[in-house]
């Protein structure tokens, strides 16, 4: 029996209406309206034999070391006195300009890549680079809170509760990146907001990452391979970046502090004890090489750096001291010895035509004729802030002065290039002595490259990836010294970045900072743009009580953790 025409039409209209509602439900929100939840992209389950919430331990620890107990030590003040800071109308104008840039960038993510890891700022699409667990969303939670995007934060925090660590397109995850971005982002957002759902999500993730330590010697590898974890076959690496296992301690320690479960602290403390055992048994005693053999617990490599592969190992030493309230003097001892080796061997003053008294951090080659390699990186720009923070915590004014010269060196490198932005990796001409550093035109003619700014020998990697390290150090030095000209340097950097990286949708990494005209956009905007770079720009123009360095300590992804009082 055929359907009546009216009933048929009604059925078609009803179906069309339901389809429209479904499409609206799936679309990202626009403008200021927010819905309660989102449909998350469907991803396959991780290897079926691996339980991400309660992973089986094949090599359980014989004992669990508890967190240090006792009353936290009274720390030296890190920030300058509040009265030394001035919040002017111009400062506030700059701060609001940074806030609008974040709003635009995060808005592009929300519109084109919601619940994916990143938005592509040139083509306006989404892509997954870190397991498909919404890296930009999780990484940006605390930035939303700090910048006062209350509705957006509430919407994002609710969306995070729908993340399922048991579903990913990856067969293995990078333990370091997942820890600093996802675990760090959740813990920081909880510290700031008190939203218990974020801590619950952090515990879930912490349990999964804890499986990475399930190796015969309880030291983690670089990857958490789900199939190997399910079979008890994980091993520590024999040539892993030293920073990777050695830069998990802040996040795991904070998770133990917040939950009362010491297993997370115990896991990373084992890495610290390995570092302690080998610190003075390396080819540059006091420092650890770029790669370490965590499986055999040896340190035989000959390359040393404060840059890529090793950076946050050193960064976390003074920060762990602060996070533990000074109750374990290990981190102070490790830092003091490491900096006593790093400062004379890796830090150099470059020969510059203007004679500027600034510093850069290079590399050190320990074999053959052991020597400084005056090759610096954008990544090493964090070192200015590290020296300043360590100098304040451990009452070493010389280190604070070194930190300021390092920070100003990176600002100089920004200003030197046509785009106003420094390259990823470059080489300079080092002076033999820091107190005598006259410009040598003959040496420049022999070593230099006429297409580069005077003083720069080459640009090994001319890209700019929206990295935060230079503004990070300027922010720390501004809070430590209250010198207003550091804010001016930061603003010059911000304006140059905006000129060079702005796209139709947000901001993009660029291919060559030497470009005289239009820059070549690489269609990449990693989550650290909204999690770190814009956060530090915002904070350097904020009053000193906004995330005070005497109340919070930042992980390497710029996530502030509450310090014990």
Q: Which residues contact 224 (CB under 8 A, 6 or more apart)?
A: 172, 173, 175, 178, 208, 209, 211, 212, 234
Angular region, 431: left φ>0, alpha ψ -120 to 50, beta rest = beta
What is the token pair recorded at 78? Answer: 């890190």
Helix, strand, coil % in the chain, rounded to nearest 5: 45, 10, 45
* Distance, CA of 207 to CA of 177 (rounded, Å): 16
Which has the closest alpha carbon to 76: 306, 326, 288, 291?
A: 326
- Classify residue 560 by its DSSP letter: E
CB 429 within 8 A of CB 422: no
Out of 311, 315, 472, 557, pick the active-site residue: 311
β-strands 360-361, 456-461 pairing:
unpaired
Which has the closest alpha carbon to 67: 394, 275, 325, 332?
A: 325
Q: Is 297 a catalytic residue?
A: no
Q: Is 469 a catalytic residue?
A: yes
3-state secondary structure of 120: strand
Cα angle, residue 561 at apex, residues 556 and 565 outer, rounded to 5°: 135
- Beta strands (DSSP E) in 366-471 are 371-373, 375-377, 425-428, 456-461
* Distance, CA of 94 to CA of 351 (rounded, Å): 33
3-state secondary structure of 184: helix
SS (H, E, C) 271-329: HHHHHHHHCCCCCCCCCCCCEEECCCCECCCCEEECCCCCHHHHHHHHHHHHHCCCCCC
Q: Is 177 a catalytic residue?
A: yes
Out of 103, 158, 164, 177, pick the active-site residue: 177
Known binder of ligand: residue 259? no
Out of 204, 240, 404, 469, pick the active-site residue: 469
What is the token pair recorded at 409? Answer: 């060196």
Q: Is 435 a catalytic residue?
A: no
Cα angle, residue 42 at apex, residues 41 and 44 outer, rounded to 5°: 140
What is the token pair recorded at 228? Answer: 């190997």
Please give the radius of gyration of the chain, using alpha carbons only, rounded to the nearest integer.
Answer: 25
Out of 204, 266, 424, 532, pick the active-site residue: 424
Q: Which helix (H) or strand (E) holds 19?
A: helix 5-26
Can you say which residues are annotated as belonging to the binding site for Ca(2+)? 556
Can you say which residues are annotated as belonging to the binding site? 556
Just list the catalytic residues. 177, 311, 424, 469
């Amino acid at each position: 029996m055929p359907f009546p025409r009216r009933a048929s039409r009604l059925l078609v209209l009803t179906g069309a209406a339901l389809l429209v509602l479904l499409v609206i439900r799936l679309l990202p929100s626009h403008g200021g309206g927010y819905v309660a939840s989102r449909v998350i992209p469907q991803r396959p389950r991780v290897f079926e034999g691996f339980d991400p919430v309660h992973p089986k331990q094949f090599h359980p620890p014989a004992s669990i070391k508890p967190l240090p107990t006792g009353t936290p030590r009274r720390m030296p003040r890190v920030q300058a006195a509040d009265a030394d800071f001035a919040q002017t109308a111009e400062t506030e104008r700059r701060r609001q300009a940074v806030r609008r840039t974040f709003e635009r960038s995060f808005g592009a993510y929300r519109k084109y890549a919601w619940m994916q890891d990143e938005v592509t700022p040139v083509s306006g699409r989404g892509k997954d680079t870190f397991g498909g667990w919404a890296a930009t969303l999780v990484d940006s939670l605390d930035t939303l809170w700090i910048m006062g995007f209350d509705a957006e934060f509430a919407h994002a925090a609710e969306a995070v509760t729908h993340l399922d660590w048991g579903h990913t397109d990856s067969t293995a995850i990078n333990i370091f990146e997942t820890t600093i971005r996802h675990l760090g982002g959740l813990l920081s957002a909880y510290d700031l907001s008190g939203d218990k759902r974020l801590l619950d999500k952090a515990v879930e993730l912490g349990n999964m990452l804890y499986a990475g330590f399930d190796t015969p010697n309880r030291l983690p590898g670089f990857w958490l391979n789900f199939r190997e974890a399910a079979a008890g076959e994980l091993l520590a690496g024999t040539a892993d970046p030293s920073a990777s296992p050695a830069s998990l301690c802040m996040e795991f320690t904070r998770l133990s502090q917040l939950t009362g479960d010491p297993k997370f602290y115990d896991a990373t403390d084992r890495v610290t004890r390995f570092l302690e055992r080998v610190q003075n048994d390396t080819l540059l005693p006091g420092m650890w090489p770029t790669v370490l053999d965590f499986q055999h617990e040896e340190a035989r490599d000959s390359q040393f750096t404060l840059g890529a592969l090793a950076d946050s190992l050193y960064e976390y030493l003074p920060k762990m001291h602060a996070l533990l309230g000074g109750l374990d003097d290990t981190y102070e001892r490790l830092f003091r010895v490491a900096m006593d080796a790093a400062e004379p061997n890796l830090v150099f003053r470059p020969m510059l035509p203007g004679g500027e008294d600034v510093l850069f951090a290079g590399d050190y080659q320990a074999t053959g004729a052991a020597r400084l390699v005056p090759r610096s990186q954008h990544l090493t720009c964090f070192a200015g802030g590290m020296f300043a923070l360590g100098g304040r915590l451990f009452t070493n004014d010389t280190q604070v002065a070194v930190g300021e010269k390092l920070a100003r060196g990176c600002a100089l490198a920004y200003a030197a290039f046509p785009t106003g932005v420094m390259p990823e990796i470059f080489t300079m001409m080092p002076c033999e002595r820091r107190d005598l550093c006259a410009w040598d035109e003959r040496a420049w003619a022999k070593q230099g490259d006429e297409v580069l700014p005077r003083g720069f020998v080459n640009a090994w990697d001319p890209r700019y990836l929206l990295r935060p390290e230079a503004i990070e150090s300027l922010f720390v030095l501004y809070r430590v010294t209250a010198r207003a000209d550091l804010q001016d340097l930061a603003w010059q950097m911000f304006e140059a970045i905006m000129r060079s990286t702005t796209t139709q949708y947000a901001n993009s990494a660029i291919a060559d900072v030497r470009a005289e005209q239009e820059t070549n956009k690489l269609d990449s905007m990693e989550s650290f743009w909204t999690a770190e770079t814009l956060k530090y720009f915002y904070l350097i123009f904020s009053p000193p009580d906004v995330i005070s360095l005497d109340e919070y300590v930042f992980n390497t992804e710029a996530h502030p953790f509450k310090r014990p009082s």
